Chain A
């Protein structure tokens, strides 16, 4: 291919619009009530990409995902990770090649909330309407 063709194809690629985001639900990022850390959305993204693996006090972070295909997981990927699904999949392929596996998955919001309420090192996300006093909300995402 001529250089001009390559440049044209690249320009067309850049002009291709990104997929539109549908309406979102409000999520609560939750931790154990004794965990006082303040987290921003970037911190949460780094944690769930397993780039950040330790709390400030040195304890290992236990991140909890929802199952793929659930509305909570889809909203979390859009609002927090903000990555194209293909790029996200490629990222985890590369991590797997390095021996790093994705966060653990729990099947329900109730399970995530119970786990976080019981484990001082855990972090998870649930629908805002499911928040109660057993956990501490560190971030509201909508």
Chain B
């Protein structure tokens, strides 16, 4: 992997010295070969385009070096995802992501594949699209861009993962309308079949129905609201969420809030979860970003936890991110323990 990065660096032309430089020339293919099916081209961070077939292969990988407080230093390849993108026509879109995971079994760890996403889209109009398959649950923002090269920290805010199942297997209607100055995007979805995960997630659901509405201004800000109802152990539960993103110059502010109502049972309310995070990112030097995040997460009956993250991210090339951060908290949460976390991520 390191050798590949070195080769890509040597292949990258020197950036033009204009005051508002275009994106680095890594959008330009570094490999192009004619074939009977058209030119096969590889662009770092944009995948391998297979001629005129409409097929693109790509993916990402992340390796973590962490030292949690009171624990040993560990190194592991945490995330490996492979994309298969196929656009046979302008109205049909197929997408699959395969992840390589290590499963702990009595006979020793075993490598296997899971399928976080596998779906097909049919586009009728901008405001009317149908998706069928397994896809990311559209709640908030982080869950829709959870791949490690796309987010600024090695750690993930608890509220973006724990209160709901990150994946939905079923169908979704979605689309966009374009009022003056921005875009309104909606999605209505439901899980009407079992997920095909070998390993269930943090909170698997049987059936669900939900919706999301987002307004995005061309001025660089957007707000969104999400709602999800799902069955867990035969009971319907409800989750609501709000999120926002604001970008100005080289500064970005992102935040999310989610609340899951408690289960009402004979011995009292339990299972309430709510949380929020607010994250600021600023490019403080060329290619170097300062990241600050505050999180609060409350999962009854456990006491609430407040988490702070202070970190730096370095992008030597647009498709490579090196991250280092210190996570501190007023209480140790097992899902996000305090400590030093660093990672190397590559989008390919």
Contact = CB atoms under 8 A, between A and B. Distances in A.
A86 B176 contact: no
Nearest to A65: B27
A69 B93 contact: no
Interface of A: 1, 3, 6, 9-10, 12-14, 16-22, 42-43, 45-46, 51-54, 58, 60, 67-69, 73-74, 77-78, 82-90, 92-94, 96-99, 101-102
B250 interface: yes
A17 B126 CA distance: 36
Interface stretch (B83-91, B98-106, B227-235): B83-91
A52 B176 contact: yes
Contact of B126 (A21, A54, A67): A54
Given A54-B126, A97-B145, A67 B248 contact: no
B319 to A, nearest CB: 8
A2 to B, nearest CB: 9
Contacts of A13: 251, 280, 282, 290
A9 B248 contact: no
B292 interface: yes
Given A19-B249, A54-B123, 14 more contacts: A1-B292, A1-B310, A13-B290, A21-B20, A22-B18, A69-B22, A86-B283, A87-B220, A93-B149, A93-B347, A96-B83, A97-B83, A98-B95, A102-B27
A125 B85 CA distance: 28
Contacts of B310: 1
A43 B20 contact: no
A12 B253 CA distance: 13
A96 B45 contact: yes
A48 B297 CA distance: 39
Given A53-B123, A74-B18, A89 B150 contact: no
Contacts of A87: 220, 247, 252
B28 A68 contact: yes
B183 A46 contact: yes
B294 A20 contact: no
B181 A42 contact: yes
A96 B280 contact: no
B19 interface: yes
A28 B58 CA distance: 35
A9 B19 CA distance: 25
Contacts of B180: 42
Contacts of B147: 97
Interface string B109-121: 0000000000000
B25 interface: yes
A45 B150 contact: no
